[in-house]
């Protein structure tokens, strides 16, 4: 672990059933950081925190919605006229609607889809190769991004 990594505070809003979330968590750990893991389905973030995460990511609240989640279509959330308050009501009632993983570091906040997007939020100096669960290479043996 590099000195920079040991002092780097990372929070991941994680769903262990999601491959992208698992890959992001593994990539953070590969960088020598043990993040604070919040399984948001067990411990949902407050409305205020969801708003803050969206604002800090620079994305509209709607960008944090998972469209593939079952209640998305059933609740009519594709309706662009819905207010942020209506979206927050839906998220509060159905935390599965939060897209994941969301990662918070001193460098910023981002929805890390694809998982390698987390590298923009982590300190430099990653060592060694890393591949996703499906075998897709993300980092080469020098720790450089592949692709």
Containing 105, the helix (H) or strand (E) segment is strand 102-105
Annotation says 31 is catalytic: no
Q: One of 11, 18, 37, 88 is an active-site residue; which one?
A: 18
User: Tens of pLDDT along 33-56?
Assistant: 999 999 999 999 999 999 999 999
Domains of the chain: 3-139 (3.40.30.10)
Q: Can you spell out the DSSP letters for 23-79?
A: HHHHHHHHTT--PEEEETTTSPPPHHHHHHHHHHHTS-GGGGB-TTSHHHHHTTTT-
User: Tens of pLDDT along 100-118?
Assistant: 999 999 999 999 999 999 9
Model pTM? 0.91
* pLDDT mean over 127-144: 92
């Amino acid at each position: 672990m590099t000195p920079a990594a040991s002092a780097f505070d990372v929070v991941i809003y994680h769903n262990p059933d999601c491959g992208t979330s698992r890959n992001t968590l593994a990539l953070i750990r590969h960088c020598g950081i043990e993040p604070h893991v919040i399984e948001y389905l067990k411990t949902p973030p407050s409305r205020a925190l969801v708003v803050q995460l969206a604002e800090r990511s620079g994305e509209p609240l709607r960008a944090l919605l998972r469209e593939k989640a079952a209640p998305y279509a059933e609740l009519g959330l594709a309706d662009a006229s819905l207010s942020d308050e209506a979206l927050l009501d839906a998220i509060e009632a159905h935390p599965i609607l939060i897209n994941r993983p969301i990662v918070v570091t001193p460098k910023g906040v981002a929805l890390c889809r694809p998982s390698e997007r987390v590298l923009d939020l982590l300190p430099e100096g990653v060592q060694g190769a890393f591949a996703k669960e499906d075998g897709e290479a993300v980092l080469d043996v020098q720790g450089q991004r592949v692709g």
